[in-house]
Structures are given as C-alpha cells and as structure tokens.
C-alpha cells in the first residue's frame, strides 16, 4: 500500500493554541490522521516548532507549516510504501536538512510521521499501539509481550500551569505497582475527588489549572504535599504504600540565569542550595519521583542530585528532550536515571523509538538498585527499576544478563560476599517472577571489593550497597 495524498489543516489545541491536523490517504482507501501536541514549558533544545509570527494568534499560527506539508512534504512522499516508517521519516529529515528541523518545522514533520503510522495501522487492521510495537521491535523480537504502564495523575498545578504562587509545576500521584492499571487509575481518581472535597471544606477554590489539577493559591510546596497526603488518607488509602507522590518541578521556569527563585516562599537558591532543599523535601515526605528538578543546562547539579538521591526516580524532560545524543550524555555522566519521551521534542516517531531503544539498552547495561544497611529486600523504587529490566529483556530475547551484588565496607569479607549474593539473588527472583528464564541470568557477588565510592561515610556507603545489572551479550 502506498501514499496517495496528504492534507493538513490548522486546529486549536486544549489551550487554544494553533496546532496541525494531518490526514494521510493510501491507494487502498485507508486513512490515518494525527494532531501535534505542544508543551507549555519547553526545553530550549527541542526540535523547532514553525510558527507564523504574524498578527494571528499572537504569532502562533501554523499556516507556514501547513504549506510546507502540502507543497514540500507531500510531493516527496507520494507513492511511497506506508509500511516503511523509517524511510518515510528519513525522507522528511533529509528534506529539511537541519538538525533542529527549522526549515520545515518539527510540527509539520511530526504530524505527517504520526498520520503515516496511523494509516499503516489502519491498513493492517491493527490497533495503533500494536503496530508501534512491531515498528519498535523491527530489529529484535516481534513476539515481545505488551504491558500497561503505571498511571501518574497530575492533581495539583503550579508554575506555568496555573496563576497561583506555587513554583513546582505539577504535583502527581501514582498507585502501587501491585495493582492493575484499571484499579490503580480508580484509586487515583478517588484521591482526586477526595482532594477536591478537602480543599472546598477549607474554603479554597477548586477551579483547575492548565492541565486539570486544582490550583488554589496555597502558601508553599510543602503545604500542597500535606494536602495531598491528607486527601490520600481521606480516601482510605495508605500513603507510601497504596499511593505515592511524584513531582514535576520544571525548574527552568524559575531559574533566572544564576539562581533558582521560589516565589511562593521568597527564597533564592544556588544549585547546591536547591539540591539540599529537594533532599530534605523528598526525605520528609517520601517522594518517589521528581522530574526536571534543575535547569536543563545545570548538568553538574543533575549529577550531584542523582548521586545524593539513591532510590528516587529522577526524570529528565527538558534536559534530554527525547534526543539520543543528550540521553547518551545523561547516561554516561549519571545525570538523572529516567527519561520522558515526547515525540514533539524530536520531530518523528522513528527518532522517538530510537531513543527508547537506546535507553532500554542502557538499562540492560547498568541498571542499579540500592539496599538499606545489612538488607537484601527490594524497595519500591528498586521494583520500578527491575520492571524496566524485565521489559528490556522481553524486547531483547537473545540477551543474557549478569546481576552483580555489592556491599559497603563495613563487615568481614566473607559476610559481605554472602550479603552481595543475597542482594543479586533478590533481583534475580524478581526478574524470574515476571517470566525471565533463569538460564538468562547469572548471579555473582563482589562483596565490598568493588566500591563505586571510596569514601568512608554514610553517603558513600549508601552508594555501595547495590546490585548492578550487566548485559552479558
């Protein structure tokens, strides 16, 4: 099946900002349609959004991008086979010829890329997610299993998503990994409605912010978190067991070029000062995940924060912007330990999938889980990391891994070798629980012989109590 025609129109997104709706029609009569998303707070290294910069919509119109689709992209793709997604995307990348996609606009390229994907899925009578799975596994196992993600609900808005004085952009909740997606979603919705009742009972507005979370003008980030914990408990859930809290700080939005300024509490922080603030906040409230805690160019700060927050998911959005070279830099320097994937940040579906594949390979190469002193039991954060290993192994069925257990310097050599082995076996047992065959997993222990940090203090010890997944082939 081949591309017969491509058309595009200007639409408005949920914020009333112009975007693009593209339709791709095949010679078989099948059709695919796609709309391009756009973020409120964005990384400066994202692929270029082409806007009209005229009097319409404060300059944010998309007529130029639409004209590029009709006059440049369509002629280049007519007659091309729809199932060759990588080839189609590469044609558009070459046609643009710039790294940032400034000639055609990443919004025009992505709209066509996604519409082609939907057209191919429709032509093959497949759900979109299943067709994307086939594309993703084109160089590996086409029989890999599907899994549902853990939902994260944005229930309180600050920053660029509201008009209140709260600096952190999103306060999110997420359910325990022990429940199904539907059950987890139901539980989180119950907390959302519980929060609404709680805010209303205290006389606060329950109008919502830019992304659907409540946005009353509370006094501090801490007060918001306290309200969330009360809402969780009021909904008859256990905080830290049934429901967890996650933050999207969007710190680039309150960085003035030198310092971080929290308007709610009238505080100014250096990078080190803000890191100390986060460490205290996360430990006080047992926060499980934090996104964009620092400015996108504050690489030293990201490295330091990642080192100090063992066991916490540190998500890079603006710093990585779904681009493979930035992701590689983050992995090599240990800046953050998770990535947010947004196709609009890079401009094509193919490049988005390549970033995911690269990240998964990195997971198999150096996925690390940490343990409490003299313990071999897995924490909730460890379970999240190992679940990523399970998914990566499912997508790469020929790969085997070695689990290396480690201990800190305290204790005898013999005791620590046994402790390291117990820790590696704990990780192995989890992988096997989710279907990874034992013959794909080798376990060994280095005890205290290979510390990652040679210091003799509590922080160094916490880094050395670990199990590391190493790709064997």
Is 267 one of the annotated active-site residues of the chain?
A: no
Which CATH number belongs to the domain containing residue 108 in this structure? 3.30.390.10
Contact 309, 274 (CB under 8 A): no
Look over the chain and give the mean of its residue pLDDT values, rounded to a whole number: 91
- pLDDT value at 446 more than 90: yes
- pLDDT value at 122 more than 90: yes
In a domain, 9, yes or no: yes
Q: How large is the average pLDDT for residues 326-349? A: 91
Domain-terminating residue out of 85, 106, 136: 136
In a domain, 171, yes or no: no
Q: Residues 6 or more apart from 239 whose CB is under 8 A from it? A: 229, 232, 233, 245, 286
**H-helix segments, 60-180:** 63-68, 74-77, 85-96, 106-123, 128-136
Residue with tokens 């970033």: 355
In a domain, 102, yes or no: yes
Total domains in the chain come to 2
- pLDDT value at 233 more than 90: yes
In a domain, 142, yes or no: no
Parallel, antiparallel or unpaired: strands 18-26 and 267-269: unpaired
Residue of 46, 49, 170, 211 marked active site = 211
Is 211 one of the annotated active-site residues of the chain?
A: yes
Domain-terminating residue out of 116, 136, 156: 136
Which CATH number belongs to the domain containing residue 374 in this structure? 3.30.1330.60
Q: Which of 107-116, 141-150, 166-175 has the lowest mean pLDDT?
A: 141-150
Residue with tokens 């946005």: 215
Domain-terminating residue out of 136, 155, 175: 136
In a domain, 193, yes or no: no
Which range of residues forms the domain containing residue 8? 3-136
**Residue 96 banded pLDDT, cuts 50, 70, 90:** very high
Contact 35, 12 (CB under 8 A): no
Structure tokens at 287: 């926060």
In a domain, 378, yes or no: yes
In a domain, 298, yes or no: no
- pLDDT value at 140 more than 70: no
Residue of 46, 101, 253, 342 marked active site = 342
Structure tokens at 382: 């460890």
SS3 401: strand
Long-range interactions of 391-394: CB distance < 8 A, separation 24+? 391/147, 391/360, 392/360, 392/361, 392/363, 392/364, 393/364, 393/431, 393/436, 393/440, 394/141, 394/144, 394/145, 394/435
**Residue 141 banded pLDDT, cuts 50, 70, 90:** very low
In a domain, 58, yes or no: yes
Q: Which pLDDT tens digit goes with each residue over 407-439?
A: 999 999 999 999 999 999 999 999 999 889 999
Residue with the larger pLDDT of the pair 292 and 39: 292
């Amino acid at each position: 099946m081949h591309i017969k025609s491509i058309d595009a129109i200007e639409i408005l997104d949920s914020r009333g900002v112009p975007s693009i709706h593209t339709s791709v029609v095949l010679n078989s009569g099948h059709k695919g349609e796609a709309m391009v998303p756009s973020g409120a707070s964005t990384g400066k290294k994202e692929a270029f959004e082409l806007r009209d910069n005229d009097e319409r919509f404060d300059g944010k119109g998309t007529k130029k991008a639409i004209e590029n689709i009709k006059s440049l992209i369509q002629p280049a793709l007519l007659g091309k086979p729809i199932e060759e997604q990588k080839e189609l995307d590469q044609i558009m990348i070459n046609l643009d010829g710039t790294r940032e996609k400034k000639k055609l606009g990443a919004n025009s390229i992505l709209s066509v890329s996604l519409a082609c994907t939907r057209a191919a899925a429709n032509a093959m009578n497949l759900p979109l997610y299943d067709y994307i799975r086939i594309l993703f596994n084109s160089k590996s196992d086409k029989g890999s299993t599907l899994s549902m993600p853990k939902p994260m609900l944005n229930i309180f808005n600050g920053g660029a998503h509201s008009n209140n004085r709260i600096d952190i952009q999103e306060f999110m909740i997420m359910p325990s990994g022990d429940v199904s997606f539907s059950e987890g979603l139901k539980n989180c919705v119950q907390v959302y409605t519980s929060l609404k009742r709680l805010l209303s009972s205290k006389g606060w507005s329950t109008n919502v912010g830019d992304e659907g979370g409540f946005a009353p003008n509370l006094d501090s980030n801490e007060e918001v978190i306290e309200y969330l914990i009360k809402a969780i408990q009021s909904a008859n859930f256990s905080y830290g067991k049934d429901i967890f809290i996650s933050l999207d700080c969007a710190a680039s939005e309150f960085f003035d070029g030198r310092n971080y300024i929290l308007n709610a509490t009238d505080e100014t922080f250096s990078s080190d000062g803000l890191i100390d603030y986060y460490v205290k906040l996360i430990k006080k409230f047992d926060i499980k995940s934090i996104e964009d805690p620092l400015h996108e160019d504050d690489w030293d700060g990201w490295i330091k924060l990642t080192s100090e927050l063992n066991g916490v998911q540190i998500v890079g959005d603006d710093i990585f912007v779904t681009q493979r070279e930035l992701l590689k830099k983050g992995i090599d320097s240990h800046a953050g330990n998770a990535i947010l994937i947004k196709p609009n940040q890079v401009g094509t579906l193919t490049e988005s999938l390549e970033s995911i594949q690269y990240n998964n390979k990195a997971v198999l190469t150096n996925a690390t889980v940490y343990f409490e002193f003299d313990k071999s039991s897995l924490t909730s954060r460890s379970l999240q990391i190992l679940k990523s290993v399970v998914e990566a192994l499912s997508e790469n069925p020929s790969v085997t891994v070695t689990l290396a257990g480690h201990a800190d310097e305290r204790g005898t050599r013999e005791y620590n070798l046994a402790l390291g082995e117990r820790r590696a076996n704990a990780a192995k047992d989890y992988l096997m629980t989710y279907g990874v065959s034992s013959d794909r997993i080798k376990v060994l222990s280095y005890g205290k012989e290979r510390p990652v940090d040679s210091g003799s203090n509590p922080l160094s010890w916490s880094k050395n109590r670990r199990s590391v997944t190493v790709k064997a082939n």
